[in-house]
Amino acid sequence: MSTATPPEELIQRIYETALDVEAWDVVLRELCVPLRAEHAVLAFRSQSSEGLGLKRSPSLSSEELADHERKLNEFPEMLASLKRTPEGAIVRTQQMVPLPLLRRSPMYQEWARPLGIEWAISSPVLRDAAGVGLVGIMREARCGDFSREDS
């Protein structure tokens, strides 16, 4: 069984691995442990295009990540909310868009639900003229929604 890495150590490891893409998977897995989450994603979304410059997850395949990106690009309400979310803020998905709208969306119906993903939190960790870097953490229904204590 995995043990949780203390938050201060996780933050330090994120900085230490910033330039080592291969090490990101380890840090993303470590983020999942204390949050009882199955999936973590690190992504960079360019300000100048609809696509991502980089998307990384230790638990989701490249096809699943590409499908997520297609569904996200078809969800203007979610994209607008991501652009408004301040750097460093941690938000639950239903804080970005109303839960009924989310549950009706192709992103949920055709991507998240088939993968068993029910709840998510995300945070823009970097925002500059080139784009925005995001961390997303996702849970299955059996783990329940994220709480204030999780963020």
Tell me the pTM.
Answer: 0.82
- Residue 29 burial (CB count, 10 A): 17
Say if strands 91-92 and 52-56 run parallel, antiparallel, or are unpaired.
unpaired
CA-based end-to-end distance of the chain: 23
Contact status, residue 17 vs residue 125, Cβ threshold 8 Å: no
- pLDDT the model gives residue 11: 65
Ramachandran category for residue 128: left, alpha or beta (phi over 0 → left; psi -120 to 50 → alpha): beta
**The dihedral sign for the CA sequence 137, 21, 83, 79:** negative
Closest-CA residue to 42 (of 34, 60, 81, 33): 60
For the chain, the average pLDDT equals 83
Q: Which of 46-50, 68-72, 86-90 has the lowest mean pLDDT?
A: 46-50
Task: Please tell me the number of Cα atoms within 13 Å of 47 on its side-chain side.
Answer: 9
Give CA torsion, residues 47, 51, 57, 60, to 10 deg. Answer: 150
- pLDDT the model gives residue 137: 92
The rounded distance, in Å, linking the Cα atoms of 122 and 96 is 10
Average pLDDT over residues 128-148: 85
| pLDDT above 70 coverage of the chain, percent | 85
